[in-house]
Amino acid sequence: MDDNHHPELPARLARDLDGSFEALVVAYQRLVFGLALRVVGNRADAEEIAQDTFERAYWALAGYPAERVAAMALRPWLATIARNLARNRLRRRPPPARPLEDGHGQPLAVAAPAAAEPAQVAERRSDRELLVELLAGLPRGQREAVVLRHVEGLAYAEVAEVLGRPVGTVKTHAHRGVRQLRVELEARKERTPR
């Protein structure tokens, strides 16, 4: 299960990288891909970023001394690589969908277009789409904190490590982000009663 921690994985990787690397991919592909998807907004780019993330991770692990690998916190480390690669991608190629501003003049990733989502998740499509859209509309700091904490389920300490900010700051961002989402969801519901 990829939601759990994998306390034995760093030691296994330190002992036998080639023999355990697939286990690392299996354990964290959902996190890495999901994170990339929430930043770049489309599955094709997200898959490429996820591939790049794991490729970088492999060569980094191959170059580190075994003691260092054995002591690594893999989840925030991989999330950091994925986030940085995804952000580099955005800088190079802004998303084609309507650009939003995050208050710092930076274009924000926009929700994945409906066509890019697998058909199986079509139920409750509109709710999900709405949430993705609202999430994409949050200021970047809040959005990243909400995605890492509440979508991907990282601990606040890990979120802080990935975003390179103090724990208190990312908590504040996550709370503000969630509050903003709720306000907007309420507002939509009032406008379109069901």
Cα(132)–Cα(120) distance, integer angstroms: 17
Per CB under 8 A, the segment of 8-16, 42-50, 72-80, 137-145 that binds another protein is 42-50
Per CB under 8 A, the segment of 50-58, 73-81, 82-90, 165-173 that binds another protein is 50-58
Interface with another protein, residue 118, by CB under 8 A? yes
Q: Which of 33, 42, 89, 160 binds another protein (CB under 8 A)?
A: 33
Within residues 168-187, the interface with another protein by CB under 8 A covers: 178, 181-182, 185-186
Cα(130)–Cα(133) distance, integer angstroms: 5
Cα(106)–Cα(94) distance, integer angstroms: 9
Decide: residue 190, CB within 10 A, 0-12 exposed, 13-18 middle, 19+ buried.
exposed
The HSE-up count of residue 189 (CA atoms within 13 Å, CB side) is 8
Applying CB under 8 A, which residues contact another protein?
A: 18, 21-22, 25-26, 29-30, 32-34, 37-38, 43, 46-47, 50-51, 54-55, 58-59, 118, 127-128, 131-132, 135, 146, 150-153, 178, 181-182, 185-186
